[in-house]
Amino acid sequence: MSKLDIFMLVVRVAFSAFVPLCFIAVCVWMERRGAGFFQDRSGPNRANIFGFRAAGLVQNLSDAVKLIFKEDVTSAHIKHKFYFVLAPVLVFFTALVSFAVVPFADTLVIGGKSYIMQGIPIDLGILWFLALAGFSVYGIILAGWSSTNKYGILGGLRSAAQVISYEIPMGLAVISLLVVYGTVNLNEMAQFQGRLLFGFIPMWGAILQPLSMVIFIVAAFAETNRTPFDLAEGESELVAGYHVEYSAMKFAVFFMGEYVALFASSAIIVTLFFGGYQIPFLATATLVKGAKPVAFLLMILLPVAMYYFAGWIRRNNVSHYPRENDPRVFEANIYIKCFWALVIFLELVLLAILFSESGGSAAHIFVALLQVGTFLLKVTLMLFVYIWVRWTLPRFRYDQLQKLGWQMLLPLALLNIFITSAFVVALS
- The site for another protein (CB under 8 A) is made up of 34, 36-42, 214, 312, 315-316, 319-321, 323, 388-389, 391-393
CB of 98 to another protein, least distance (A): 27
With respect to another protein, which residue has the nearer C-beta, 38 or 135?
A: 38
CB of 65 to another protein, least distance (A): 22
C-alpha of 414 from chain center? 27
With respect to another protein, which residue has the nearer C-beta, 42 or 358?
A: 42
CB of 393 to another protein, least distance (A): 7
With respect to another protein, which residue has the nearer C-beta, 40 or 399?
A: 40
CB of 410 to another protein, least distance (A): 16
C-alpha of 269 from chain center? 9
CB of 263 to another protein, least distance (A): 21
CB of 57 to another protein, least distance (A): 16
| Number of helices and strands in the chain (H, E) | 16, 4
Amino acid identity, residue 110? I
Residue 240 per-residue DSSP state: T
CA distance 206 to 188: 16
C-alpha of 133 from chain center? 14
54: left (phi over 0), alpha (psi -120 to 50) or beta: left
With respect to another protein, which residue has the nearer C-beta, 189 or 409?
A: 409
CB of 386 to another protein, least distance (A): 12
- CB atoms inside a 10 Å sphere around CB 135: 16
With respect to another protein, which residue has the nearer C-beta, 195 or 323?
A: 323
Q: Which residues contact 305 (CB under 8 A, 6 or more apart)?
A: none
With respect to another protein, which residue has the nearer C-beta, 324 or 357?
A: 324
- CB atoms inside a 10 Å sphere around CB 194: 23
CB of 400 to another protein, least distance (A): 10
Q: What are the distances in angstroms from CA 106 to CA 32, 46, 120, 359, 382?
A: 33, 41, 14, 16, 20
CA distance 288 to 80: 56
Note whether 65 and 328 are within 8 A (CB).
no
With respect to another protein, which residue has the nearer C-beta, 293 or 327?
A: 327
Residue 55 per-residue DSSP state: G
CA distance 228 to 220: 11
Residue 202 per-residue DSSP state: E
Hey, what's the torsion of the CAs at 228, 230, 236, 237, to 10 degrees? 130
Note whether 362 and 356 are within 8 A (CB).
yes
With respect to another protein, which residue has the nearer C-beta, 3 or 320?
A: 320
CA distance 71 to 76: 15
Note whether 419 and 179 are within 8 A (CB).
no
With respect to another protein, which residue has the nearer C-beta, 15 or 406?
A: 406
CB of 241 to another protein, least distance (A): 24
CA distance 159 to 137: 7
* Beta-carbon-side half-sphere exposure of residue 337 (alpha carbons within 13 Å): 6
CB of 37 to another protein, least distance (A): 4
With respect to another protein, which residue has the nearer C-beta, 332 or 367?
A: 332
With respect to another protein, which residue has the nearer C-beta, 28 or 256?
A: 28
Q: How many residues does the chain have?
A: 428
